[in-house]
Amino acid sequence: MSSWVFCDYFTETGRNWIRAWLDTLPPSAAAKIQVRLLYMQAIPVWPEQYVSSLKGYSDLVELRIVYAGVQYRPLGFYGPNQREFTLVHGVKEKGKIPRRELTLADEHRKCVLADPGKRRFRHDFDAPSMASPAIQ
């Protein structure tokens, strides 16, 4: 059994926001992100260089992944259940994450917390965009 469960944010219409973001990235970059998530779900404590809090958004956390000189930042939060991390947005960082991206991520976080049974599902490491494997 893994130490952590990763979940993805789903829109009201059932679109997996994280899968859609991953599908826009170069396949090798998306693969690097997936491998990092697999590693992180298997270890109890995440190394400091893999995660960082976000100034002004205390409930959000950025995962720090660099591939081919590009800084990929899946954004999410711990919860809503214990040992869960919910991914709510993904961005490429170029110096600083724009405030509008952080605001959007926080709006997604609030949607998940308002209706976790419909707005987040377990992250499937090789599912197509519309898959939504339920969380028990």
- Each of the 136 residues of the chain gets a pLDDT tens digit; together they read 558 999 999 999 999 999 999 999 999 999 999 999 999 999 999 999 999 999 999 999 999 999 999 999 999 999 999 999 999 999 999 889 999 999 999 999 999 999 999 999 999 887 544 344 444 3
The answer to the question of residue 88 being in a domain is yes
The answer to the question of residue 135 being in a domain is no
Number of domains in the chain: 1
The answer to the question of residue 110 being in a domain is yes
> What is the domain-level CATH number for residue 37?
3.30.2310.20
Q: Whole-model pTM?
A: 0.90
- Long-range contacts (CB closer than 8 Å, 24 or more residues apart) made by 91-98: 93/62, 97/54, 97/62, 97/73
The answer to the question of residue 134 being in a domain is no
The answer to the question of residue 17 being in a domain is yes
The answer to the question of residue 130 being in a domain is no
Structure tokens at 104: 């959007």
The answer to the question of residue 107 being in a domain is yes
Distance of CA 68 to the CA centre of its chain: 20
Range of the domain at 44: 5-122
Distance of CA 113 to the CA centre of its chain: 15
The answer to the question of residue 57 being in a domain is yes
